[in-house]
Amino acid sequence: MAATENKKIETPKGNYFYACGKRKTAIAKVRFYPKGENKITVNGVDITEWSDYSEQVQKIKSPLSLLNVKDYTITIKVIGGGHNAQAEAMRLGIAKSLTVLDETNRGSLKKVGFLSRDSRIKERKKPGLKRARRASQFSKR
């Protein structure tokens, strides 16, 4: 076993707006600082290091680009799910924090669909079946 490094996560000081976004089993806790240097950190690393795909980064930043928000710092702690579910949970959390910041943002964010939580999760396996609904093939003879 390799020794793990203890990373010190630096968070900006000051007042922030908090929101929580969820998608499938991913949970994103978002802190939105209104004054900053246009930086987003996810679990202590920069967003470009967190994801190599520019589509996911654009998906996360889409509420900010829709409202033309400047001078912000966002710190996100995300757990569970895959990269796509985490990105959508972060997008929902950022959109919710923008509505906490200013209630007039709610209409434009809701019209595009950024405030809708996609609550679809995997259905559990039932006893006696192979999967959630797949039964074994029936044999008449």
- Decide the pairing of beta strands 39-42 and 17-23: unpaired
pLDDT in tens, the chain (141 residues): 445 555 555 667 778 999 999 999 999 999 999 888 899 999 999 999 998 888 999 999 999 999 999 899 999 999 999 999 999 999 999 999 999 999 999 999 999 999 999 989 999 999 999 999 999 999 998
Phi, psi dihedral angles at 40 (to 5 degrees) = -120, 125
Give the pair of three-digit tokens for residue 133: 């609904």
Give the domain 17-112 fold: Ribosomal Protein S5; domain 2 (3.30.230)
Rounded to an integer, what distance in angstroms lies between the CA atom of residue 43 and that of residue 119?
Answer: 23
Q: Where are the domains of the chain?
A: 17-112
Tokens representing 72? 């912000």
Buried b (16+ CB within 10 A) or exposed e, 32-54: bbeebeeebbbeeeebeebbeee
Number of Cβ within 10 Å of residue 3's Cβ equals: 5
Helix (H) or strand (E) holding 83: helix 83-101
Residue 95: phi and psi, rounded to 5, are -65, -40
Beta carbons within 10 angstroms of residue 122's beta carbon: 8
Quick one: pLDDT at residue 1? 43
